[in-house]
Structure 1
Amino acid sequence: MLIGVPKEIKNNENRVALTPAGAKELVKQGHQVYLQENAGAESGFGNELYRKAGATILPSIEEIYRVAEMILKVKEPIEPEYPLIRENQLLFTYFHFASYEPLTKAMINSKAVCLAYETVEKADRSLPLLIPMSEVAGRMAVQKGANYLEKPLGGRGILLGGVPGTLPAKVLILGGGVVGTHAALMAAGLGADVTILDVSLPRMRYLADMMPPNVKTMMSNEYNIRKLIPSADLIIGAVLIPGAKAPHLITRDMLKEMLPGTVLVDVAVDQGGCIETCQPTTHENPTYVIDGVLHYCVANMPGAVPYTSTLALTNATLPYVLEVAEKGWKNAAIQNPELRAGLNIIDGEVVYKAVADTFSLEYVPVEKHL
């Protein structure tokens, strides 16, 4: 298969979809890998490393899209890329369609095959290609939150772990999944007073057993959220509904109940956000203030640590990429239900129900195309 890896052009997106080691594995299996010049440079992987792995370097994004049967990316295509996408071309990347209708319509119009990392799903309902970036984002949410709690950056001026004779910061985490778990471990390690809210009792029992003593769990509902937010210093949104828009657990009117300088970090912003007042921001302009509350809503947080993120992502995606390259997307999807769940749009039709429901589009069962 002819596999193309373009340079990411989203604002401050420094990751690349394939490491040189991943390229070498694909070449060993007889596939051709085309990399846009300097696509891996910001992640610490220069062109020469890819050449040594057997990849071909092409000078422009247009050439990558023109030659490739499968496009490997990190983030969703943005507007300048839409005209480059060909009918029947396979795109394998994070799409998060439910958060952005223009992207959904553009991919429908392109008649490409859209295989989304974030909806590839195992039998146990885990999301193997979302987990590594969720791990990174959960840990980063605490790093960033601790930073923005500093007074010069707009926060309350509170040290996350406190010092002897002072109380630590109170961290409220909405969601006890992968993001929430890693955020809690990071915040607890820094000495914060952490509370995780979740709707699953089995999950909370698991978290209560494995977390350190400074982490507590509570049932997630509006009453408990309103009870906790007046004393919270850092609130992290970590809610995920696979393929669908995240629900708003923090509403605009709740901001008035928060202390001035409270920091909100919405990791779910690339799925529409679980904090009503959160809008996607960039690493270039990451924050804004509403009602005295600082919002950090960068939609590609792991892009700030591209070396770690690129390695973690390729570790997870490469087995699936090899399977698709070897069998073709259709046969791979027929034989592997995990990949079948990743198909979102095929030949102009939405085949993932949560995306169709979000925008009131016609849903077509994926089996029609297999």
Structure 2
Amino acid sequence: MAQCFLILENGTIAEGTGFGFEKTVFGEVVFNTGMSGYQESLTDPSYKGQILVMSHPLIGNYGINPRYSESDSVQVAGYVVRELCKTPSMMYGGKTLESSLLENEVPAISGIDTRAVILDLRVHGVLKGAITFDDDPESVLDEVCKMPAYACKNWVGEVSTKEVIRYEKKGAKKVALIDCGVKGSILSELRKRFEVIRVPYDTDKSFFRNEEIDGIFVSNGPGDPSHPALQDTTIATIKALKDDYPMMGICFGTQMLARAFGGTTYKMKFGHRGENQPIKHKGRVYITSQNHGYAVAEESLADTGFVADHINVNDGTVEGITHQELPIFAVQYHPEASAGPRDTMFLFDEFKTMLEESR
């Protein structure tokens, strides 16, 4: 174990003990309120380019098992925990958290007051930051202050598939999945119900029209939904096809659909990340898993045909939209859970019913 520092752009320098891969990394610092599901969070492509702080004080106690990974690698830039469990329970037959981070060349820090860091982020909003094993944290702080904002980069381009991948299911409806950084569990739920064609985020509209598809699904993903690279690709494709196919979106997909219809999005102060977020939909409250730092501006939906019919109970933000004329809907949270409650898994079945009724 080595001396290590977490550095925030507001001047906070927290000293702790380093583990994982020893290198300096930079990223947007965010926090997760979940008591479990650390492996799913680490491997979720929506965390690409971010340094993740966990609010639960003990992390790593049940190890790492490939069964619970949401992608092929650890996606976070860096990891921050209060206490690292070095000898996890073998109940799941997995390896240690540190060995996984070492294999993926991801640095981490333990032994700092993560609750204090989270309070800092709640007051100031998400901040640029770094994890460093460097002896001179002041020089790293200077680099942090000069680094570009998280929103400047097209993170979707980093995590989207680079080729078309086909998952056959005889006799099932065919869905084109626009991969903006899809979680493995979302893909799994789609494959249970549909034949799936997974395509890069920048796939041209002509591809879809040359395929005999029944619907389009827009996935979760990282970064700013207003990035110019997305306006010219994913959003342009949705605009061109919105009158032709039923559509569903999850998380980032909600923002893409809203923007394609003329809605706007905004960066939240510190976002929603965890497995305990309540939303209200059709008179019922559901507990949901969430991971998003941007949201749809409800007032911008006025002329889009969408209504906000899923609302966050805690802060009133939009958590889901449904079009009033077209067979299109999307939710900002994660009905596939992984980790988290499975209260809203029925939404995948609603999409299946929508496709069956539309053709």
Q: Which structure has the higher relative contact order (CA within 8 Å, separation 6+)?
A: 1
Name the structure with the higher helix share.
Answer: 1
**TM-score normalised by L of structure 2:** 0.32
**TM-score normalised by L of structure 1:** 0.31
User: Which of these two proteins has the greater Rg computed from alpha carbons?
Assistant: 1
